[in-house]
Structure 1
Amino acid sequence: METKMEKGFPAPLFRDPIFDGASDPTVIWNKKEACYYMFYTQRRSTSVQVGFSSIHGSKIGVATSTDKKGWLYRGTLENLDIEHGHNTFWAPEIFEANGTYHMYVSYITGIPTTWEYPRHILHYTSENLWDWTYQSTLQLSSERVIDACVYEVCPGVYKMWYKDENHDSHIYAAQSTDLYQWEVVGEEISDCSQEGPNVFELGGKKWMICDCWKGLSAYVSDDFTNWKRCPCNLLVGPGKDPSDQTNGHHADILVENGEAEIYYFTGQYPEDCADVGLRALTAVQGCMLYAEDDKLCCVR
């Protein structure tokens, strides 16, 4: 019988071979190609840094795998721009519904060197995970929203959670019955500022994790609306691998056959590293995730 430690993933799980700044991963099964796809924010970590420029100007990177252990870089998603110029794409949320793939991705015009610019969530659809058609720019609770997570909370009813930076970076929610028209239902997590919500079911319960910059906060719910904070954060501090040197950040959960895997990113060097260039390098990591009573745990 496998123990939790015997199910560990390689570390790092994936490094972006172009800019070495893989972050915000999401993993999905591609039925047509019979393999897993990882989509991620391709941070320009090794590019020139002017203010916060290397955090912006990112494309959505793509890697594939047949076993979720070894990942092959395949390039970036092209033709996503809705206006001229070099623009910014972050944190894709991608899933399949009724035979169509949907992507909700954070978008910023251009390559800002500061944080003071509008941010929106764009909706795209695809039949093959490569060719995407722009559908709309979502009208949500403010002009500074990022990090969408979408989950079917009951048959034909979808809920989206996201970070609203104009409202103390709390987690807000919207609801839809067709994935195209969304109605904001308001603030849902307000105990602290955080980002990157991800909602899933495991062990008969409903869970949300968020990146609170002190590891990952975790919440449990009976109804996908009222959330109870779990006592302990996940992925606090560095891991044991030399590439895993910070808190875990912005994670995705893949649940298959009753088992869960968590994909997250970390800095490759400690947060107090004197070299700013090295501090910018990130990598995707992975491990198993377990539900035990009213808490989550993972073996890093």
Structure 2
Amino acid sequence: MKAPDAPLFRDPVHDGAADPTLIRHRETGEWWMFYTARRADLTTEGFGWVHGTDIGIATSADGGRTWTYRGIAQGLAHEPGRNTYWAPEILWHDGTHHMYVSYVSGVPTDWGGEAHILHYTSQDLEHWRFESVLGLGSDRVIDASVWLLPGGGWRMWFKDETGGSHIHAADSPDLYDWRPVGPALDKQAQEGPNVFRHAGSYWMVTDYWSGLLVYRSEDLTDWVRQDEPLLAGRGSRPGDEAIGHHAFALSQGDDAYLFYFTHPADGQRSCVQAAPLTVRDGRLRCERDAAFGLELRADRTPALRGGDMPS
């Protein structure tokens, strides 16, 4: 396998790619990356540059090693005017793609105001239809991650800023109707949960501002925190000389990869990176400076990520 680019991807419009998520297009075999397209090249008051954002799209025809910018997701307009879309979570189930995306009305210059998670569906990853604003028991929720429950149905994890910025959860029988079930992790503030299954266990990786916290579970309910965070220091590859943020993990049989974003030197620009994941002595590890090859394959990819493996 050939090594991927480093950085893996930079947004050619605003140079602020963040919060990546990947899914395989089941018809073309291409890999699609959806991400928050931060407007990092703008000089704005306060935090205006991280608001008013679209969901960008890049695609790869070589198993994820190189990526081509393809524009922004269409059909997301929820209200008139310029609004804010963050952190897409996208999965495939029973012939339909589902997107859960964080939404803030307008272009605030601070971190206040309401935030909701919106649900969209698509048959082709190109044309999206609005389904609903999720009722999650709070008007300050962001960063959805979804996985199948072992006993059937689905669970969503998200950050609730009215609940200590802890990770909360909601359950659904059908991906449309969601019922909040309370805190999933309540020991500290964190955001950007990403849940996946690898090496016989469930894992959750969260963004903790000084690296990525790691939790392990056997049932998606009880989580045990790992002592060592991931990506807490600096990497040596181009564009990777800062801590990692808001990651997406993809299991590939015996292998797994972490896709995350970093802020290079000037603080506003951001780019997407990839690194290998391993499990040793029951702990998840990410050696960001290690040489590795990347070739994402359908027969090693969970079905909910567009592959052929059971989820």
- TM-score between the two structures when normalised by the length of structure 2: 0.90
Q: Does the 8 A contact of 1:156 with 1:178 survive in 2? A: no
Q: Does the 8 A contact of 2:2 with 2:65 survive in 1? A: no
Q: Does 1:74 align with 2:70?
A: yes
The count of corresponding residues between Structure 1 and Structure 2 is: 287
Which of residues 214, 221, 230 is equivalent to 1:234? Answer: 230
Q: Does the 8 A contact of 1:108 with 1:119 survive in 2? A: yes
Cα offset, 1:155, TM superposition: 5.8
Which of residues 3, 12, 16 is equivalent to 1:17? Answer: 12
Matching residue's letter, 1:87 = N
Q: Does the 8 A contact of 1:192 with 1:212 survive in 2? A: no
Supply the distance in 1 between the matched residues of 2:2 and 2:221 (Cα, whole angstroms). 32
Supply the distance in 1 between the matched residues of 2:32 and 2:261 (Cα, whole angstroms). 16
Judging by fraction of residues, say which structure has more strand.
1
Task: Give 1:16-165 correspondences, 5 Å limit.
Answer: 16-66=11-61, 67-154=63-150, 156-165=152-161
Cα offset, 1:116, TM superposition: 1.1
DSSP 3-state at the match of 1:38: strand
Q: Does the 8 A contact of 1:7 with 1:287 survive in 2? A: no
Task: Give 1:214-229 correspondences, 5 Å limit.
Answer: 214-229=210-225
Which of residues 189, 192, 201 is equivalent to 2:188? Answer: 192
Which of residues 275, 283, 302 is equivalent to 1:287? Answer: 275
Q: Does the 8 A contact of 2:205 with 2:215 survive in 1? A: yes
DSSP 3-state at the match of 2:259: strand
Matching residue's letter, 2:105 = T
Supply the distance in 2 between the matched residues of 1:230 and 1:114 (Cα, whole angstroms). 33
User: 1:275 matched to which residue of 2?
Assistant: none
Q: Does the 8 A contact of 1:8 with 1:288 survive in 2? A: no
DSSP 3-state at the match of 1:154: coil
User: 1:253 matched to which residue of 2?
Assistant: 249
Matching residue's letter, 2:284 = L
Supply the distance in 2 between the matched residues of 1:292 and 1:28 (Cα, whole angstroms). 27
Q: Does the 8 A contact of 2:194 with 2:247 survive in 1? A: yes
Q: Does the 8 A contact of 1:47 with 1:54 survive in 2? A: yes
User: 2:287 matched to which residue of 1?
Assistant: 299
1:217-274 CA distance string (max 9 Å, x none) = 00011210110000100011111023112110000011123321110000011xxxxx
DSSP 3-state at the match of 1:289: strand
Cα offset, 1:181, TM superposition: 0.5
User: 1:272 matched to which residue of 2?
Assistant: none
Q: Does the 8 A contact of 1:8 with 1:299 survive in 2? A: no
Supply the distance in 1 between the matched residues of 2:95 and 2:279 (Cα, whole angstroms). 30
Moved more, 282-291 or 252-261: 252-261
Cα offset, 1:72, TM superposition: 0.2
Cα offset, 1:8, TM superposition: 5.3
Cα offset, 1:31, TM superposition: 1.0
User: 1:3 matched to which residue of 2?
Assistant: none
RMSD: 1.2
DSSP 3-state at the match of 2:162: helix
User: 1:204 matched to which residue of 2?
Assistant: 200
Moved over 3 A (4+): 6-9
Q: What 5-or-longer segments of structure 2 have no aligned partner?
A: 289-311
Cα offset, 1:157, TM superposition: 0.9
Q: Does the 8 A contact of 1:7 with 1:288 survive in 2? A: no
1:194-233 CA distance string (max 9 Å, x none) = 1110111111111111001111000011210110000100
Q: What 5-or-longer segments of structure 1 have no aligned partner?
A: 1-5, 270-277
